[in-house]
Structure 1
Amino acid sequence: MSKTDSRPSIQTQINESIQEEALKVARSIQKPGQTKEQTKLIAQGIAKGIELYKKQQSAKARERDKARKKAIKLKQAESTGQQREEDETDFAWDLAESGISGMLLLGGGVFAVMAGILAVSFVAGWLVSFGPFTLPVWASLATAMAFAGFSGWFFYKAVTLNHGQ
């Protein structure tokens, strides 16, 4: 629409209808002794609230539409037996999964080494000291078992993440 066009835009018409509606609501809740200026200020607040509400509802509708389209696309890919095309977000997620898997493997290895050291200290009867604190020999075994459990859990999670289970 050009600047010389005298017709009001659709957005202007919508804003005017919202303002009229807000003024009706403001007048319906008007208190005795309330001035016209106060009523207009209340109407402006109501109009802003209506506009904000409509914007929020539009955003929610767009999100629902995106989710619906994604579900339809996924359903079509599954029904035809074809592989779903990976978009950039899927590629980024795959990279994140491989990074998580690597970190789980690293953590499992660290816990396994710590469990091995504590198991050797138990068998050899060595005392483990942390500054002024000395760990009893029996606690070395308990700690080694706990670290072995953590290690096994980390390795299990890394394997199941890679296999998508």
Structure 2
Amino acid sequence: MLVQQDHYKKSYYETPFHSRTSELNILNEWQRWKDYTVATNYFRTDLEYFAVRNTTGVIDYTPMIKQKITGPDSAEFVNRFFTRDMNKISIGRVGYVVWCDEQGQVLDDGTVFHIRENEYWLLCVERQLDNLAISAIGFDVEIEEITDDVACLEFRAQPLAVF
């Protein structure tokens, strides 16, 4: 668990990667993101931007909201909640998703990890427990926020050309 029992003594948390990012953060620029402190820039924003676009970048996404969806009806539920065919995301894979309200307006987007049979993890910017719980009525699923239990690194890279 990322949140310690004495969490109330601090107004922010450090991600599990904080000690390493601190060493690399030459500018010493930090921001608060969902109760975590994360690096804003490390050296030069323009170089970091082009590194992500042209080579590889690593981003600490630990503060992003994570919800776990489990239960016998989880596959049926995620297929109803998200706008994409979740049957195409096999176990061990991740896919980009969008979800809408009853009028078809996009509420948010994120990524869904198909962890194992009847288990999915949603990674998104805003908490979705209310939307998920209301939409889960009639489905045999459990929805749990796991944000403080799961660290997250994103690797961004250009695809390698195949010859």
- Give the TM-score range, shorter chain: under 0.3
Q: Which has the higher contact order (CA 8 A, sep 6+)?
A: 2
Q: Which has the larger radius of gyration?
A: 1
More strand as a share of residues:
2
TM-score by length of 1: 0.19
TM-score by length of 2: 0.19
More helix as a share of residues:
1
